[in-house]
């Protein structure tokens, strides 16, 4: 597959809308100094692109409304009991993550001694309708429990206005794992990448087929795993709706959104699951090469302009470990088709030779053991380094 991809027409100006903040990066006049985003004049009329961080893109899918909201209650898999909880019923162990939305903590349910991860989403609104919408989406995801590649949710509570999401505790996330693995000179084998891909695509497909929802925030930090080799998807639009990844971006952030999500043409085009397929492709390039596929930028405007105007990343044999096959490269580059109409949906990806190769292997005890051992080895190195600080 060649390195060149058809791009899109360059716009006369880029309009960024971050909530109430509007910033325009327009083509400078002849009296103004040229900026790094200056575009050569074209003889045709070009549409204005709107990059909107306020989550106003019309959703393609609407989650079903659940019958019951698990507020202030916990329900664990395999346990017929239901536990009423407040913040006092959870014992703090340690903070295990931090993001724009808030923090993630390892906590223990005092009554059952059950360990869990608790995501504390900072209060962004006191609007009861917003709180109910968040819980409706949470409950929708709780209905996804039959899918083994989706993180298990136990319940939620509100504490001083903040929303606490109680969920299954995993050992690490893909972004931490791949970075440490490359630092140690242990890049992922294709078999491991195949296992991660099958688990992620199956989870995304389940969300679409069974619950009629999109994920909307596929990236390495939202794919988690444990020492047993399990790989699971987290954060399917729950915190993402409250804290939009464009609206909260700053220099140094990595956009994973597809070009069509960043660009809203005058006809308010609607995006679908293929935008998540693009995000998957960016994620696979990153873990296969050890680095994010786009260059470093000086501003968020340069970040978004490169994704929109520049060619799509292309994964080639020279960029990956020797054991990676042409079939895998083809799979990734399909995910990164710049033209959304040429980009496959999940069921097409699941018929690809690369996916088929690892689909059956992904559930085998040997695969889970080997990947689990790899995860354990990397985590042990991370913990040892932290202890030596």
Q: What is the DSSP string of 368-380?
A: HHHHHHHHHHHHH
Q: Which pLDDT does position 236 carry in this prediction?
A: 66
Based on the residue annotation, tell me whether 366 is a catalytic residue of this protein.
no
Flag whether 67 is in a domain.
no
Q: What is the dihedral of CA 279, 284, 290, 292, to 10 degrees?
A: -20
* Pair 82, 37 in one domain: no
DSSP state of 114: E
The answer as to whether 236 is a domain residue is yes
Same domain for 205 and 131: no
Evaluate whether 368 touches 192 at the Cβ level (below 8 Å).
no
Q: Tally helices (H) and strands (E) across the chain.
A: 11, 13
Q: Does residue 33 carry a pLDDT above 90?
A: no
N-term to C-term CA, the chain? 46
Of the candidate ranges 119-123, 197-201, 259-263, the one whose mean pLDDT is the lowest: 119-123
43 falls within a domain? yes
- The most confident of 101-105, 157-161, 206-210, 327-331, by mean pLDDT: 327-331
Taking alpha carbons only, the member of 375, 172, 173, 181 closest to residue 290 is 181
Q: What is the spatial distance between Cα 2 and Cα 185, in angstroms, rounded to a whole number?
A: 29
Structure tokens at 282: 């960016």
> What's the number of CA atoms in the CB half-sphere (13 Å) around residue 199?
29
Here the contacts of 85-88 (C-beta below 8 Å, separation 24 or greater) are 85/109, 85/155, 85/157, 85/166, 86/157, 86/159, 87/157, 87/159, 87/164
Say yes or no: 197 and 241 in one domain.
yes
Specify if 58 maps to a domain.
no
Please report the pLDDT score of residue 30 as a whole number.
41
**Contact criterion met (CB below 8 Å) for 27 and 39:** yes
Ramachandran class of 102: left when φ > 0, alpha when ψ lies in -120 to 50, beta otherwise: left
Segments forming the whole domain that contains residue 42 = 13-52
Pick the range with the lowest mean pLDDT from 39-53, 82-96, 270-284, 340-354: 39-53
**Percent of the chain topping pLDDT 70:** 70
How would DSSP label each residue in 141-186?
Answer: HHTTTT-TTBPPEEEEEEETTEEEEEE---SEEHHHHHHHHHHTT-
Question: Is pLDDT above 70 for 326?
Answer: yes
pLDDT surpassing 50 at residue 151: yes
Specify whether 48 is located in the same domain as 144: no
Residue 120 inside a domain? The answer is yes
CA dihedral 150, 363, 197, 78 (to 10 degrees): 10
Q: What is the mean pLDDT of residues 102-116?
A: 94
Give the number of other CB atoms < 10 A from CB of residue 41: 9
* Candidates 52, 217, 235, 276; catalytic one: 217
**pTM, two decimal places:** 0.77
- 179 with 161, same domain: the answer is no
């Amino acid at each position: 597959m060649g390195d060149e991809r058809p791009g899109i027409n360059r716009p006369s100006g880029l309009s960024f809308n971050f909530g109430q903040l509007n910033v325009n990066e327009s083509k400078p006049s002849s009296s103004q100094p040229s900026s790094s985003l200056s575009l050569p004049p074209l003889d045709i009329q070009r549409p204005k692109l709107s990059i909107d961080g306020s989550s106003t893109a019309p959703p393609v899918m609407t989650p079903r409304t659940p019958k019951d909201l698990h507020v202030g209650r916990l329900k664990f898999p395999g346990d017929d009991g239901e536990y009423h909880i407040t913040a006092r019923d959870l014992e703090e162990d340690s903070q295990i993550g931090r993001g724009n939305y808030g923090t993630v903590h390892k906590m223990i349910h005092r009554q059952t001694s059950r360990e869990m991860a608790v995501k504390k989403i900072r209060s962004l609104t006191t609007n009861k309708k917003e709180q109910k919408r968040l819980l409706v989406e949470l409950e929708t995801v709780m209905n996804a429990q039959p899918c083994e590649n989706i993180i298990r949710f136990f319940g939620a509570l509100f504490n001083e206005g903040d929303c606490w999401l109680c969920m299954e505790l995993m050992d690490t996330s893909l972004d931490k794992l791949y970075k440490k693995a490359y630092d140690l000179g242990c890049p992922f084998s294709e078999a491991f990448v195949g296992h991660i891909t099958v688990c992620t695509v199956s989870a995304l497909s389940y969300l679409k087929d069974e619950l009629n929802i999109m994920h909307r925030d596929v990236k390495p930090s939202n794919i988690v795993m444990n020492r047993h080799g399990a790989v699971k998807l987290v954060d399917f639009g729950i915190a993402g709706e409250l804290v939009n990844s464009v609206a909260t971006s700053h220099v140094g952030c990595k956009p994973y959104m597809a070009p069509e999500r960043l660009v809203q043409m005058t006809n308010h085009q609607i995006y679908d699951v293929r935008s998540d397929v693009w995000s998957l492709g960016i994620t696979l390039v990153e873990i296969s090469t050890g680095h994010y596929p786009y260059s470093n930028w000086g501003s968020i405007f340069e970040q978004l302009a490169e994704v929109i105007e520049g060619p799509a990343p292309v994964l080639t044999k020279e960029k990956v470990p020797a054991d990676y096959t042409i079939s895998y490269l083809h799979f990734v580059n399909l995910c990164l088709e710049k033209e959304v109409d040429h980009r496959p949906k999940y069921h097409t990806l699941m018929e690809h030779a690369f996916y088929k190769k690892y689909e059956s292997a992904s559930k085998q005890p040997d695969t889970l053991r080997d990947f689990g051992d790899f995860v354990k080895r990397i985590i042990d190195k991370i913990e040892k380094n932290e202890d030596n600080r």
